[in-house]
Amino acid sequence: MTSPLQSGKESYSLGIDIGGTFTDVVLYSHHDARVFSHKELTTPEEPTTGAISGIRTLLEREQVQGNQVTRVVHATTLFTNALIERRGVRTGLIATEGFRDTLEMRREFKYDLYDLFIEMPPTLVPRESRLEARERMLADGSVDTPLDEVSVLAAGQALVNQGIESVAITFLHSYANPAHERRARDLLKQRFPQLYVSISCEVSPQIREYERTSTTAANAYVLPIADRYLERLEAQLKDLGIGCALLMMLSNGGLTHVGEARRFPVQLLESGPAAGAIAAAYFSKRSSIGDVLAFDMGGTTAKLAIVEDNQPLLAHSFEAAREKRFAAGSGIPINIATVELIEIGAGGGSIANLDGMNLLKVGPKSASSRPGPACYQRGGTLPTVTDANLLLGRLDAETFAGGTMKLSTQAARDALGSVAAALATGTENTADGVLSIVNENMAAAARVHVAERGFDASRFALLVTGGGGPLHGCDVARRLGIRRVVCPPGAGVASALGLLIAPARVDRSTTLARSLASVTPESLEATFAKLEADAAEVMRVTLVDGVSYRCERSADIRFAGQGFELVTRLPDGPFDAGTPALIREAFAAAYGRVFGQVPPVQDIELMNLRVAAIEEGVERPLNLSASGRETWAPGAGNRHMWQAGAEAWRNVPSLPRESLRQGEKLQGPAIVEDASSTLVIPANATAWRDAAGNLIVDLA
């Protein structure tokens, strides 16, 4: 990358994070590490419209030319929302003869044994669009039945006649031998060039038929949307004079080039939350706090990730679009590397309502950005969490979202008034009830997520980001038994900041499914070398010249006879005669950490082999004290804020974040604002600014 001194002018990186309610745009100066940001309402009908508008506004405000931007990184919830809301394209599936119903049969598992009316997630591909081809591979990769090319083309023609846009091909045991899938794809692309085709040996080359089929179908379901969307975004960036390559944030917290993203958009499903977790790890490390719960609350959803030793926990599968929020097995299984997190249907736009028993409920339905909360005055009339925060004085109607939009307290009062009248509790108490319910919903989800991974929430600090994280974080922390809350600078645009500090990363995997004793170190080394070469090709396109990366090896390992595996970090290569003993030791240590004891079983099996190529030397300092040319100005003096315990209004200090000097103590209740977020400090709490610029809140 050309330096500013070499080019004769300052250069910048641009981060774009499109959320359900707001699109965050961040500029990063390579010259002095200054950061400038802007929040724009998301335009769900055409997400690039809001993004480009926000970029243009920020560039004009900071007087930056498009050709000064030398790096663009993007994350979006567009593809996740398409899955959740079933807004993908018409998708077909071609499976091995006899296996068209794999998606419907799943694992014959009920996520709730006692629910007589249980609902499973509807399949992405209806049965009439799931067809078969005659072929058969065996588990060792040998051919049992050769591919019948006529049956492939017949299935393709039938799907085209149905109006199918995208096809997933998942043949039995293609992870062991992909020849039939690749030939079938070539046949379809030659005969039907307009079809998008995803094959499981490239999307998810792993054992377990249902999960592999589900992941490939999900990729096919969003592939045309991703391809067209990213093509439009690249073209519109060029219209702004931004001609550099577009990088995409992956669900694993790494970056890849846009070509890879357009082929495998399923890898981007959790890209926005992953960026928030990367930012949380960065900010916690600056304050020498190793273990935090990264709590990111936006306008539509809240996310929570565990960060241990300044590294987000990673998983190699997750469930999208769950029918029941906390029930494993109620969603669509996706086999990708992802930051391990939980998403909660709670955000600023979550709608408050009364159920059939006249009890107050909040969410999971959201007003989103269109029409938005009632106080936005954009057509929304239903009461939301943002309306409650504004009515209780926790938000400033004049400075919200950096002053880019004005809120109406009266509209919020009118919206909440209908619920208050039905409950006969008064408008302020009703608004406070809305906040209490949404905070308990988020705390309950966090409590379960942390406990299921063997942790005690109280040992962590809570790092709050997003527009709503600082607003709600202290109360959520109190409900979790957490004593310390960390609010970083620029908290409201932290996910976009995470895009700019994240390293490039590529994950590759393959299924081995053999006992360790039956595999030679030489054959293991050859398989890992092949995975590393594949990852290296993507890194070559993604990284600029002179940037190095390292490869980490791991495997899904189990004791012989077990049904599921444990991901275990392996020694670095090259492997030799001493490697099998090291692998056994690593697995035993990992097993003992998770389960507390190690059974006396000698034989272990290597199921999936994994490689992660990770960019090295990523040190991108952030100068977050510079304000640029922002027009935002904080509200002056005290704020009239409702106190729930006293059921009365009280004047509390309201001050800009920049006015807090390092080490200076601030006693709650108080409000601290910056352009992108508002931190509410409760009574009997003490806040102070540390050397890293983070605000630390110690709760009583």
Contacts with 107 (C-beta within 8 Å, 6 or more apart), sequence order? 210, 329
For the cut 80, the answer to whether the pLDDT of residue 693 exceeds it is: yes
Structure tokens, 674: 């910056």
Residue-wise pLDDT tens digits, 342-362: 877 788 888 999 988 889 998
Structure tokens, 291: 């273990």
pLDDT at 635 (0 to 100): 61
pLDDT-derived band at 262, boundaries 50, 70, 90: very high
For the cut 50, the answer to whether the pLDDT of residue 2 exceeds it is: no
In this structure, are residues 55 and 14 in contact, taking their beta carbons and an 8 Å threshold? Answer: yes
In this structure, are residues 386 and 349 in contact, taking their beta carbons and an 8 Å threshold? Answer: yes
Q: What average pLDDT does the structure give for the chain?
A: 88
Measured over all CA atoms, what is the biggest interatomic distance in the chain, rounded to whole angstroms? 79
For the cut 50, the answer to whether the pLDDT of residue 304 exceeds it is: yes
**Rounded to an integer, what is the distance from CA 587 to the centroid of its chain?**
29
Q: From CA 221, how far away is CA 91, in angstroms rounded?
A: 6
Q: How many residues does the chain have?
A: 700
For the cut 90, the answer to whether the pLDDT of residue 564 exceeds it is: no
**Rounded to an integer, what is the distance from CA 109 to the centroid of its chain?**
27
Instruction: Find, among 596, 639, 612, 615, the residue nearest to 543 by Cα.
Output: 615
Helices 427-452 & 469-480 angle (0-180, nearest 10) = 60
Residue-wise pLDDT tens digits, 182-196: 999 999 999 999 999
Structure tokens, 191: 């005969």
Percent of the chain with pLDDT over 70: 96
pLDDT-derived band at 668, boundaries 50, 70, 90: confident
Q: From CA 394, how far away is CA 642, in angstroms rounded?
A: 8
pLDDT-derived band at 3, boundaries 50, 70, 90: very low
Helices (H), 264-325: 271-286
Looking at residues 44-50, what average pLDDT do you find?
Answer: 87
pLDDT at 6 (0 to 100): 40
Half-sphere exposure of 135 (CA within 13 A, CB side): 31
**638: which strand partners?**
653
Domains of the chain, by residue range, sit at 4-83+228-268, 88-211, 506-615
Nearest 5°: phi and psi at 474? -65, -40
In this structure, are residues 500 and 485 in contact, taking their beta carbons and an 8 Å threshold? Answer: no
In this structure, are residues 231 and 56 in contact, taking their beta carbons and an 8 Å threshold? Answer: no
In this structure, are residues 527 and 624 in contact, taking their beta carbons and an 8 Å threshold? Answer: no
Distances (CA, A) of 696 to 416, 476, 488, 583, 680: 33, 15, 9, 42, 12
Q: Which amino acid is at 228?
A: R
Q: Which residue has the tokens 């905070």?
A: 439
Looking at residues 515-532, what average pLDDT do you find?
Answer: 94
pLDDT at 8 (0 to 100): 47
Contacts with 485 (C-beta within 8 Å, 6 or more apart), sequence order? 461, 462, 463, 464, 473, 474, 477, 696, 697, 699
**Rounded to an integer, what is the distance from CA 363 to the centroid of its chain?**
20
CATH fold, domain 506-615, is Dna Ligase; domain 1 (3.30.1490)
Contacts with 557 (C-beta within 8 Å, 6 or more apart), sequence order? 565, 566, 568, 583, 587, 604, 605, 606, 607
Q: Which residue has the tokens 């929430």?
A: 457
In this structure, are residues 409 and 390 in contact, taking their beta carbons and an 8 Å threshold? Answer: yes
Task: Mean pLDDT check: name the lowest of 9-23, 126-140, 539-553, 617-631.
Answer: 617-631
Distances (CA, A) of 434 to 304, 372, 386: 20, 17, 10
Instruction: Count other Cβ atoms within 10 Å, centred on residue 165.
Output: 19
Residue-wise pLDDT tens digits, 162-215: 999 999 999 999 999 999 999 999 999 999 999 999 999 999 998 889 999 999
pLDDT-derived band at 4, boundaries 50, 70, 90: very low
Q: From CA 325, how far away is CA 627, in angstroms rounded?
A: 40
Instruction: Find, among 511, 443, 514, 434, the residue nearest to 473 by Cα.
Output: 443
Give the DSSP H/E element, type plus range, for residue 410: helix 409-423
Q: From CA 551, how far away is CA 572, in angstroms rounded?
A: 8
Q: From CA 573, how far away is CA 506, in angstroms rounded?
A: 18
pLDDT at 631 (0 to 100): 57
Q: From CA 121, how far away is CA 322, in angstroms rounded?
A: 7
**Rounded to an integer, what is the distance from CA 72 to the centroid of its chain?**
18
Distances (CA, A) of 269 to 115, 125, 251, 482: 29, 19, 6, 30
Comparing 641 with 20, the larger pLDDT belongs to 641
In this structure, are residues 218 and 83 in contact, taking their beta carbons and an 8 Å threshold? Answer: yes
Give the DSSP H/E element, type plus range, for residue 234: helix 209-239
For the cut 90, the answer to whether the pLDDT of residue 363 exceeds it is: no
SS3 95: strand
In sequence order, what DSSP letters do the residues of 107-159 get, joined into one string? TS--SSTT-TT--PPPPSS-GGGEEEE--EE-TTS-EEE---HHHHHHHHHHH
pLDDT-derived band at 411, boundaries 50, 70, 90: very high
Residue-wise pLDDT tens digits, 501-510: 888 888 889 9
pTM attached to this predicted model:
0.84
**Rounded to an integer, what is the distance from CA 335 to the centroid of its chain?**
15
pLDDT-derived band at 628, boundaries 50, 70, 90: low
Judging by DSSP bridges, how do beta strands 318-320 and 314-315 pair with one another? Answer: unpaired
Q: From CA 356, how far away is CA 239, in angstroms rounded?
A: 52
pLDDT-derived band at 497, boundaries 50, 70, 90: confident
SS3 8: coil
pLDDT-derived band at 116, boundaries 50, 70, 90: confident
Residue-wise pLDDT tens digits, 575-620: 999 999 999 999 999 888 878 888 887 799 999 999 999 888 767 7
Instruction: Find, among 299, 277, 309, the residue nearest to 347 by Cα.
Output: 299
Domain with residues 4-83+228-268, CATH architecture: 2-Layer Sandwich (3.30)
In sequence order, what DSSP letters do the residues of 459-523 get, joined into one string? GSEEEEETTTHHHHHHHHHHHHT--EEEE-TTGGGHHHHHHHHPPBEEEEEEEEEEEGGGS-HHH
Instruction: Find, among 438, 437, 379, 389, the residue nearest to 413 by Cα.
Output: 389
Judging by DSSP bridges, how do beta strands 311-312 and 302-308 pair with one another? Answer: antiparallel
Judging by DSSP bridges, how do beta strands 604-615 and 549-559 pair with one another? Answer: antiparallel
